């Protein structure tokens, strides 16, 4: 037997491990199973090159809970260790970076996630165990088994063991504050979270499997069953295979494996497979999108060599793609460092721009090869593409070829096609192309119809960030502007040379304005008298484009914030068509009561068409309308 002190000059290393990593102490299982996997894969390599004269066989890793004895056993059939190797790897190497870690991470160790980074993976066991034993036997011929034991102080014992087979068994004597890890359900949850796709089969208990009935069985006879190993992982997940070896069904099946509670199929997938200038594999899926940007995030899972690391992939995946789902696996991502370091890391930036390019290329090929299908999916994916166009200039350039602009009639145009289609009719006197859009087909119906009557195209742009995107398009493209159909009277939105002449004299206009302002007491309405076609509406309510857009942009973050517009009341223009006969009748009505009733009724009709007439005012309007038709 030999005893000794672990080679570390800082006596309080164990309290530090426990203190700094306490918030994430469930990762002990991930670390120990990763070590067991490494030990098994090392043996596979040595047998393949003829250095290990043993049968590799079909090794597995087994996790067992001994609830009564308050122990967890993790056993592998890998390379094992000799006495000298235990001394070297467990007593010395594990703490080779400990002092550096203490000096460097005294303040931020919790964020740095030091486990694994400094060879401390094995020692994560002491976050949940008051005592740890290693029973191991090397694959080497004639090697004797050894048993290492440590109670969480720097003192250990090393004695001859009794292990018969090669490999290593870690025995954790669980501490009083960590008894949750003696529950099957908790260990099962962790194995599913961290080890679901590890490359060596992991056994956790047994399960009952139903066998097919014998041919001569009666209908009421129960199907035979058998007890089999409960293997919790899929050692060969789809992303580790070549795209040429996978069918569409394989990708869909893997999606269900990743997200068993998702019932909707993904719209399409992108298989990532790159080995230069960095290693990266993975599969990204476009799910059906909602308009709520926040609920979508943190669905992509990040792995390092098939070990789950996190589903917070910010910094590695461009932000606009964090709404996708799927897996990214890369050994080149520095995992055990802070977020700010990660975002500044050169390799990570390259990975991020590669993913952006790959997604843009896939979308472009989908658009080119099956445009009809792409158009059908547009509403479900547009939020990601619009977000990408806003946040990544390189993506904006590529997306310009396939981003679609749907009209209220369900036609789809690329920006170039749209320009070509409307330049004849929707270019104003200053040679600026005015793109009309609606955000709600129902509430803006009358405005849409008025625009269509003039032969104008009206886009349907209804995503929550569209205001920001229009701003970007207006600044990045020359001589274009977007205007919502209810932002002003059409003749003002697309100003042509020929201006209408008003039927009213200046004096009559003054009188009319005074009459209107006596009835309209609401300060959020500004009265504007305009000479328009006599068959255009007599009263139209519009919202100034700039003010409304700034308010909307501030509500979805950014934009109008600097103008402090988010909290401003809504402002409307009441445009009165001086050439309409109803307006003439209001002006010529002799009795004040009748004039006021005509004005009130007309304004309420305009408000009704804008969706602004509600509550008591709507009730009064209906009552007044019935009185008028009696």
pLDDT confidence of residue 103: 52
pLDDT confidence of residue 609: 80
pLDDT (tens digit, 9 = 90+) per residue, 345-376?
Answer: 666 778 888 889 999 999 999 999 999 999 99
Which one-letter DSSP state was computed for residue 501? P
Average pLDDT score over residue span 600-613:
84
Sign, CA dihedral 17-19-21-26, equals positive
Binding-site residue numbers are: 31, 35, 76, 81, 96-97, 168, 339
- Considering the domain boundaries, does residue 212 fall inside one? no
**Does residue 114 or residue 76 have the better pLDDT?**
76
Instruction: Give the pLDDT band of residue 116 (cuts 50, 70, 90).
Output: very low
* d(C-alpha 109, C-alpha 101), whole Å: 8
Looking at the structure, tell me whether residues 335 and 408 fall in a common domain. Answer: no
Beta-carbon neighbour count of residue 233 at 10 Å? 23
Looking at the structure, tell me whether residues 173 and 304 fall in a common domain. Answer: no
- The number of folded domains in the chain is 4
- Considering the domain boundaries, does residue 525 fall inside one? yes
pLDDT confidence of residue 417: 94
pLDDT confidence of residue 523: 75
- Separation of CA 385 from chain center: 12
CATH number for the domain that contains residue 88? 3.30.565.10
CATH number for the domain that contains residue 304? 3.30.230.80
Beta-carbon neighbour count of residue 99 at 10 Å? 14
Q: Name the domain boundary from 206, 230, 254.
A: 206
- Considering the domain boundaries, does residue 456 fall inside one? yes
pLDDT confidence of residue 430: 84
Average pLDDT score over residue span 298-314:
81
Looking at the structure, tell me whether residues 91 and 168 fall in a common domain. Answer: yes
Looking at the structure, tell me whether residues 459 and 336 fall in a common domain. Answer: no
Angle, in degrees to the nearest 10, between helices 592-609 and 581-588 = 150
Q: Name the domain boundary from 314, 347, 369.
A: 369
Looking at the structure, tell me whether residues 302 and 199 fall in a common domain. Answer: no
- Considering the domain boundaries, does residue 391 fall inside one? no
- Considering the domain boundaries, does residue 615 fall inside one? yes
Q: Are 573 and 528 in contact (CB under 8 A)?
A: yes
pLDDT confidence of residue 282: 94
**Does residue 437 or residue 294 have the better pLDDT?**
437
3-state DSSP call for residue 179? helix
For residue 162, pLDDT beyond 70 = yes
Looking at the structure, tell me whether residues 168 and 265 fall in a common domain. Answer: no
Sign, CA dihedral 120-125-128-131, equals negative
CATH number for the domain that contains residue 539? 1.20.120.790
Average pLDDT score over residue span 520-545:
81
pLDDT confidence of residue 97: 43
* d(C-alpha 630, C-alpha 628), whole Å: 6
Average pLDDT score over residue span 494-502:
75
- Considering the domain boundaries, does residue 226 fall inside one? no
pLDDT (tens digit, 9 = 90+) per residue, 456-469?
Answer: 999 999 888 888 88
* d(C-alpha 32, C-alpha 74), whole Å: 8
pLDDT (tens digit, 9 = 90+) per residue, 545-601?
Answer: 777 777 777 766 654 444 555 566 677 888 888 888 888 888 888 888 888 888 888
pLDDT (tens digit, 9 = 90+) per residue, 324-351?
Answer: 899 998 877 665 544 555 555 666 778 8
Tokens of 450: 């008025």
Instruction: Give the pLDDT band of residue 296 (cuts 50, 70, 90).
Output: low
Average pLDDT score over residue span 76-91:
88
Q: Do strands 280-286 and 268-274 pair parallel, antiparallel, or not at all (unpaired)?
A: antiparallel
Q: Which domain holds residue 282?
A: 238-369
CATH number for the domain that contains residue 466? 3.40.50.11260
* d(C-alpha 255, C-alpha 440), whole Å: 34
- Considering the domain boundaries, does residue 562 fall inside one? no
pLDDT (tens digit, 9 = 90+) per residue, 119-146?
Answer: 457 888 888 999 999 999 999 988 999 9
Looking at the structure, tell me whether residues 483 and 420 fall in a common domain. Answer: yes
Q: Name the domain boundary from 310, 343, 369.
A: 369
Binding-site residue numbers for ATP are: 31, 35, 76, 81, 96-97, 168, 339
Sequence-ordered strand ranges (E) for 476-550:
480-484, 525-530, 539-542
pLDDT confidence of residue 114: 36
Q: Do strands 268-274 and 129-137 pair parallel, antiparallel, or not at all (unpaired)?
A: unpaired
Looking at the structure, tell me whether residues 246 and 155 fall in a common domain. Answer: no
pLDDT confidence of residue 276: 75
- Considering the domain boundaries, does residue 392 fall inside one? no
Average pLDDT score over residue span 407-415:
94
Q: Is cis: bond before 277, omega within 30 of 0?
A: yes
Which one-letter DSSP state was computed for residue 384? H
pLDDT confidence of residue 344: 59
Cα angle at 388 between 387 and 390, to 5 degrees? 65
Q: Do strands 412-413 and 307-310 pair parallel, antiparallel, or not at all (unpaired)?
A: unpaired
Looking at the structure, tell me whether residues 91 and 194 fall in a common domain. Answer: yes
Mean pLDDT computed over every residue of the chain? 83
Looking at the structure, tell me whether residues 470 and 510 fall in a common domain. Answer: no
Average pLDDT score over residue span 320-325:
88
Sequence-ordered strand ranges (E) for 32-143:
61-66, 71-75, 129-137
pLDDT confidence of residue 7: 55
Looking at the structure, tell me whether residues 450 and 532 fall in a common domain. Answer: no
Looking at the structure, tell me whether residues 481 and 511 fall in a common domain. Answer: no
Angle, in degrees to the nearest 10, between helices 592-609 and 506-519 = 80
* d(C-alpha 595, C-alpha 427), whole Å: 40
* d(C-alpha 34, C-alpha 31), whole Å: 5
Residue 448 burial (10 A CB sphere; 0-12, 13-18, 19+): buried
């Amino acid at each position: 037997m030999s005893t000794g002190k672990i080679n570390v000059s800082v006596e309080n290393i164990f309290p530090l491990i426990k203190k700094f990593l306490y918030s994430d102490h469930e990762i002990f299982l991930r670390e120990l199973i990763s070590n067991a996997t490494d030990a098994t894969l090392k043996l596979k390599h040595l047998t393949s090159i003829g250095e290990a004269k043993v049968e590799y066989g079909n090794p597995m890793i087994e996790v067992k809970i001994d609830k009564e004895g308050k122990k967890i056993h993790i056993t592998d059939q890998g390379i094992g260790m000799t006495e000298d190797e235990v001394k070297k790897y467990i007593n010395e190497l594990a703490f080779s970076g400990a002092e550096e870690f203490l000096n460097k991470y005294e303040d931020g160790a919790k964020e740095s996630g030091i486990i694994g980074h400094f060879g401390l993976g094995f020692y994560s066991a002491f976050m949940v165990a008051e005592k740890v034993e290693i029973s191991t036997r090397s694959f080497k011929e004639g090697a004797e088994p050894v048993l290492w034991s440590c109670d969480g102080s720097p003192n250990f014992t090393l004695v001859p063991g009794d292990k018969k087979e090669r490999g290593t068994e870690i025995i954790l004597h669980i501490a009083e504050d960590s008894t949750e890890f003696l529950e099957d359900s908790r260990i099962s949850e962790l194995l599913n979270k961290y080890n679901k796709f590890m490359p060596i089969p992991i056994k956790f208990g047994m399960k009952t499997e139903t066998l097919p009935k014998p041919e001569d069985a009666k209908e009421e006879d129960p199907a035979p069953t058998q007890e089999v190993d409960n293997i919790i992982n899929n050692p060969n997940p789809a992303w580790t295979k070549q795209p040429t070896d996978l069918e569409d069904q394989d990708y869909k099946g893997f999606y269900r494996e990743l997200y068993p509670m998702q019932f909707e199929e993904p719209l399409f997938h992108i298989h990532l497979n790159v080995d230069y200038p960095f290693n990266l594999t993975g599969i990204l899926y476009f799910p059906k999108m909602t308009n709520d940007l926040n609920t979508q995030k943190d669905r992509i899972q990040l792995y390092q060599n098939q070990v789950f690391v996190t589903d917070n992939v910010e910094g590695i995946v461009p932000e606009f793609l964090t709404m996708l789902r799927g897996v990214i696996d890369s050994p080149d991502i520095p995992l055990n460092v802070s977020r700010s370091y990660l975002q500044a890391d050169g390799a990570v930036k390259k990975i991020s721009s590669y993913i952006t390019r790959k997604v843009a290329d896939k979308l472009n090929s989908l658009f080119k090869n099956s445009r009809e299908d792409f158009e059908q999916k547009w509403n479900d994916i547009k939020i990601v593409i619009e977000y990408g166009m806003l946040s990544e200039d390189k993506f904006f350039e590529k997306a310009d070829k396939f981003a679609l602009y749907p009209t209220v009639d369900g036609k789809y145009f690329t920006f170039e096609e749209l320009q070509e289609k409307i330049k004849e009719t929707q270019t104003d006197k200053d040679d600026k192309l005015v793109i009309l859009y609606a955000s709600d087909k129902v509430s803006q119906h009358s405005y849409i119809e008025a625009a269509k009557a003039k032969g104008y195209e009206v886009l349907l742009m209804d995503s929550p960030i569209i205001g920001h995107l229009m701003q970007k398009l207006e600044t990045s493209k020359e001589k274009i502007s977007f205007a919502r159909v209810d932002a002003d009277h059409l003749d003002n939105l697309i100003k042509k040379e020929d201006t209408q002449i008003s039927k009213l004299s200046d004096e009559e206009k003054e009188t009319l304005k005074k009459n209107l302002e006596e009835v309209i007491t609401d300060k959020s309405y500004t009265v504007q008298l305009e000479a328009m076609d006599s068959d255009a509406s007599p009263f139209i309510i519009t919202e100034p484009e700039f003010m409304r857009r700034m308010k909307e942009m501030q509500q979805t973050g950014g934009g109008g914030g600097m103008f402090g517009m988010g909290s401003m009341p809504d402002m409307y223009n009441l445009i009165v068509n001086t050439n309409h006969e109803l307006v003439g009748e209001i002006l010529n009505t002799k009795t004040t009561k009748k004039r006021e009733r005509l004005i009130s009724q007309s304004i309420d009709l305009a408000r009704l068409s804008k969706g602004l007439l509600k509550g008591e005012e709507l009730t009064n309007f209906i009552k007044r309308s019935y009185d008028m038709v009696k």
